Amino acid sequence: MRQELLLIIAAVVILIAEIATPDEKKGRIIPFSLGLFVLVTAIGFIPGQEGTLFGGAYQSTQLTMFMKNVLNLAVLIVFFQAESWLKKPQNLDKISEYFILTISTLIGMNFMVSAGDFLTFYLGLETATIPIAGLAAFDKYKSESAEAGIKLILSSALSSGILLFGLSMIYGATGSIYFADVATKITPTPIIALGFIFFVAGMGFKISLVPFHFWTADVYEGAPINVTSYLSVVSKGAAAFIFTIVLFTVFKSIVTLWQPLIYTIAVATMTLANLFALRQNNIKRFLAFSSIAQAGFILLGILGAGDLGMTAVVYFVLVYVFTNLGAFGVVSAIYDASGVETISGYNGLYKTNPNLSLVMTLSLFSLAGIPPVAGFFGKFFLFTSAAGAGYYILVLIAVLNATISLYYYLKVVKAMFIDPNDQPIPTFRSSMAMRIALVVCAAGVFFVGFASGIFEYIRSISQMFLN
């Protein structure tokens, strides 16, 4: 419970700070909030107690605490990357809104991850989703941004409805909403199967799995970059966490029922997202499709139901945090400095901004799963988990998809390093906060893979969680 309480305190303190700060000094809220959140993240890493609250509606384990720490870390990086964007004059009057909205969604996600019954889960999900719509529409005078907000809220509402419909069937069949109860009472009957399919459809919207991904590209493109990166990393990561937890605990006994379904979705998600990503020129849309494809890879870990699968998913999300935020950080830095957000606009970037190009290359290679960076290890373990369950053909499809994805990642690398350009993006120096964030991401991408201790730790807490 500590992490949720800390976040609530942080949100309230920022709100008070907003009231207490005179209008001309609003800019000071940024360093204040950053400092506060560094503190919140750091406290989160102090070992905490396991246990359940509210009659089992809330559960806290080492694994859920670790998941929350991963999410906190991701949000911290996003905040650092957002600093120079928030300082722009058009955002000065809504700095605290950005922080409060983001922290609110994070609180929702924390509750979702810690849920012990479907009610807490659903409440967490809604708390996590609604403020994001506000964030997506943050550039309120830009029509794309407003459109993104509307698209997000409508598709979220629809998916929540579908999800609830599915949950109601499961409740009807088992007579309980508690995870522990449902897990014992669940049987592979048609009504459960139908409920489960609705549940997967609802979650599919949140994680943006094919065929529930249509909102993703438009929202990612329309929303401000720092919100997009939040959506693609934190929001997706949290949804992947809870999806894995629910499948591995609640639906454990009908594993044979859901594996074919997840198998199909995984193949469709990886393949279609990759094929769409091939055609993009807007870097945000490109990363949107790339992140859909990454979600497809996560499903491989889920298919290897067991502690290795759980470990692989959590580890992959951790890697993904550094990797994707590294890529988004560079996109954001470039957009802040020059307003360019097309891949062809990046031509010749290495000549003028070598460091940014290198961070971007490192991140893209990590996304593609190229050794020795962390993405390779993340993908390898996901595939190990799927192969352990006997899905060799699926692993082959996935690795071939990773090869296709390499094609479009290399296209960006090609733009930065090879393609000539008469007017490349001029040399610039991004803000201190952005540079710190990028260095953290690059270091994470580089070292998380080699540090086998992290993987072993996640493995041990996953084993504890599942037993």
Partner 1 sequence: MNILTLLVVIPILTIISILFTKDLKGARVVSAVGMGIQLVVAAVLLFMYLGARQTGNMHEMLFTADYTWFKSLNIHYSIGVDGIAVAMICLTAIVTFAGIFASWEMAYLSREFFVLLILLATAVYGFFISLDLFTMFLFYELALIPMYPLIGIWGSGPKEKSAMKLTLMLMAGSALIMVGIFGLYYNSAPNGGPLTFNIIEISKIIIPEKTQMFFFPFAFVGFGILGALFPFHTWSPDGHASAPTAVSMLHAGVLMKLGGYGCFRVAMFLMPQAANSMAWIFIILTSISVVYGAFGAIWQKDLKFINAYSSVSHCGLVIFALLMMNQTAMDGAILQMISHGLMTALFFALIGMIYGRTHTRNVTEMGGLMKVIPFLAVVYMIAGFASLGLPGLSGFVAEMTVFVGAFQHQDMFHRVVTVIACSSIVITAVYILRVVGMMLLGPIKDPHHEHLEDAKWYEKLSTVTLLVSVAAVGIAPLWLSEVISGSLKPIVDKLAAVIPF
Interface ranges with partner 1 (CB under 8 A): 308, 365, 370-372, 376, 380-381, 383-384, 387-388, 392, 395-396, 399-400, 402-403, 406-407, 410, 413-414, 417-418, 452, 455-456, 459
Question: Minimum distance from CB of 45 to partner 1 (Å)?
Answer: 22
State the nearest-atom distance from the C-beta of 310 to partner 1, in Å. Answer: 12
Rounded to a whole number of angstroms, the minimum distance from the CB of residue 387 to partner 1 is 4
What's the CA gap between 219 and 147, in Å, rounded? 8
| Least gap, CB of 404 to partner 1 (angstroms) | 8
Least separation, in Å, of the C-beta of 457 and partner 1?
10
Nearest CB to partner 1, comparing residues 384 and 421: 384
**HSE-CB for 299 with a 13 A CA cutoff:** 32
CB 433, CB 84: distance < 8 Å: yes
Taking the least distance from each CB to partner 1, the nearer of 291 and 366 is 366
- Smallest distance, Å, CB 315 to partner 1? 11
Least separation, in Å, of the C-beta of 464 and partner 1? Answer: 13
Torsion angle, CA of 387/205/186/172, rounded to 10 degrees?
Answer: -170
Instruction: Between 136 and 402, name the residue whose CB sits nearer to partner 1.
Output: 402
Q: Closest CB to partner 1 among 52 and 384?
A: 384
Cα–Cα distance between 95 and 276 in angstroms, integer?
Answer: 35
Q: Which is nearer to partner 1, 285 or 379 (CB)?
A: 379
Residue with smaller CB distance to partner 1, 248 or 381: 381
Is the Cβ of residue 180 or residue 410 nearer to partner 1 in the bound state? 410
